[in-house]
Chain A
Amino acid sequence: MDQVVQKPAEIPGYTLAITAESLYLLNLLAIPGLAFLILLWLFFKYENSSPLLGACHLRQTFSASIWAGVLLLLVNGVIFAVGGYQTPYTWVIAVLYFTICHTTLVLLGLLGLAKAIAGQSFHYPLIGPTC
């Protein structure tokens, strides 16, 4: 059982990686805005000065959070601006779009968190930078 080379928790930047992924999820689920501000602060403070694992998760979640804001707020705003509140199909498209988009973003966050807990790096497809 002990053939694991290194325990995940001993990899440098482990705590920062988990914190970044948690903030990304909190921003989507519990405290939108506030969690992003904390992530923003962490990003500018540690992006260049932290170990590889932490910096990678930080860059990924920062970029993905910005994309999440655009995809969820802006696009939904556009849907209602174009469709108006009075037609049922606006609601159908908005509900479906928001549910699918938000859920996908949360699922990516869960995968990212699972990678962070395992001490591995994770790349958000399309919405994350390479690192």
Chain B
Amino acid sequence: MNNIFTNAMARNTIYGSVLVILLFFVLTFGTVRTLPERVHHENITPQVVLGKAVWEQNHCVGCHTLLGEGSYYAPELGNVYQRIKHQTNETHAGPFIKAWIEIMPTDAPMRRQMPNFNLSKTELNALLAFLKWFSEINAANWPPNIEG
């Protein structure tokens, strides 16, 4: 077997990865081109951008997931806007989510606790704008149901 499959042949198999890298770039090009439409880029307002900063600077992803990415300690928030609308039967989820964030923590014994982040009114509204924009992204029909 040593003579059939030489070291030089083994080394040459590595060049096969060039094709894979090229394909990766092509698929990336396609992704970057279609993303503006899929995420409704025109809806990324300055308020949404601020909301994203609030999201990141309070480390929401340390407990929650956003389209399944993050921590698995607390509920998915990519579709939280629809979920709250669904649960409360209201046309806007905003007031409920804002109140929810503001009354944290619950301090219920043994229960998982969410800290109070002392967000200003502007920050809260921005965070909501961000979550609302995010909930409208075309994510290939994920999550499977409203519970995330």
Point out residues on A near B: beta carbons under 8 Å. Answer: 7, 9, 14-15, 18
Dominant SS among interface residues on chain B: loop
| Nearest A residue (CB) for B2 | A9
Interchain CA distance A18-B2 in the complex, whole Å: 14
Count of chain A to chain B residue pairs whose CB atoms are closer than 8 Å in the complex? 6
Report the minimal beta-carbon distance from B17 to chain A, rounded to whole angstroms: 21
The answer to whether B1 has its CB under 8 Å from any CB of chain A is yes
5 residue pairs from A and B, CB less than 8 Å apart? A7-B2, A9-B1, A14-B1, A15-B1, A18-B1
Point out residues on B near A: beta carbons under 8 Å. Answer: 1-2
| Nearest A residue (CB) for B3 | A9
Interchain CA distance A18-B1 in the complex, whole Å: 11
Query: Which A residues touch B2, using CB under 8 A?
Result: 7, 9
| Nearest B residue (CB) for A9 | B1
Interchain CA distance A43-B16 in the complex, whole Å: 36
| Nearest B residue (CB) for A8 | B1
Interchain CA distance A9-B29 in the complex, whole Å: 48
Report the minimal beta-carbon distance from A115 to chain B, rounded to whole angstroms: 15
Interchain CA distance A9-B2 in the complex, whole Å: 8
Report the minimal beta-carbon distance from B1 to chain A, rounded to whole angstroms: 5
Q: Which 6 pairs across A and B sit closest by C-beta, in order of nearness?
A: A9-B1, A9-B2, A7-B2, A14-B1, A15-B1, A18-B1
Report the minimal beta-carbon distance from A53 to chain B, rounded to whole angstroms: 14
Report the minimal beta-carbon distance from B9 to chain A, rounded to whole angstroms: 16
Interchain CA distance A20-B1 in the complex, whole Å: 16
Report the minimal beta-carbon distance from B3 to chain A, rounded to whole angstroms: 8
Interchain CA distance A81-B1 in the complex, whole Å: 47
